[in-house]
Amino acid sequence: MRKLNTIDYPGKLCMGLTIAGCNYRCPFCPHAELIHDYIPMEKTSMDDLVQTLRPRLGFLDGVSIDGGEPLLHRGLVDFLKELKFQGSLVKLKTNASRPNLVRLLIDKRFVDYFSVFMPAPLSKYKEVINYRIDVKEIISSIQIIRKSGISHEFRVKPVPGLIEEPELLEIANYLAGAPRLVIERFKPESSMDEEYRSLSAFSEAELKGLQDLVAPYFNETVIRS
């Protein structure tokens, strides 16, 4: 829990929450401990989170929920219901692997802003995430979000040798017309896969070049840590 997050939800002040566990195994994932070692970690209960948030809603707009993959958590729907009851805005990050849950959350109006991580273009998706998934599930989630009219953004992470110009262009072509693309910086030293820790990160100039490449496909692009 971060009691103040000023960057995740555009234009909003939020409390930031991180939910452990993910079904994917992206080699560049910077959250290995959240994926592999979360069972002994100290947890915060839903009641404690709500108690912490409630007095802050006077100056906070809401909650930004990150992962891992938050949609795997069995308590998520009840938690979001409580957040909405408290009058909180909710931004939710997801890897788009659970379209039925995405639809449910939209139907119930439990989420105000989706941030969808695209670890790879669809043609390379399973190879990158190291997890057996029907790519139709990803397509379905993305279609549901884009057609819903709900505020959203997509996120990508350029990684040398894996997600470079061709992959970013394929993603940009597929998502063309989306409101916002966030380009996340790859931090080799914190990669889940040891082999990726010895890679060099893209320089600022290289990232800017990649941003210029995909910018025409989106209303807005930003580079972020």
Applying CB under 6 A, the residues found at the interface with ligand SF4 are 22, 24-26, 29, 31, 35, 67-69, 95, 117, 119
Closest separation between CB of residue 193 and ligand SF4, Å? 10
Closest separation between CB of residue 23 and ligand SF4, Å? 7
Six-digit token pair at 52? 């912490």
Q: Smaller CB distance to ligand SF4: residue 8 or 69?
A: 69
Q: Smaller CB distance to ligand SF4: residue 53 or 142?
A: 142
Q: Smaller CB distance to ligand SF4: residue 27 or 62?
A: 27
Q: Smaller CB distance to ligand SF4: residue 66 or 112?
A: 66
Strand partners, 17: 65
Closest separation between CB of residue 67 and ligand SF4, Å? 5
Closest separation between CB of residue 22 and ligand SF4, Å? 3
Q: Smaller CB distance to ligand SF4: residue 105 or 116?
A: 116
Closest separation between CB of residue 57 and ligand SF4, Å? 28
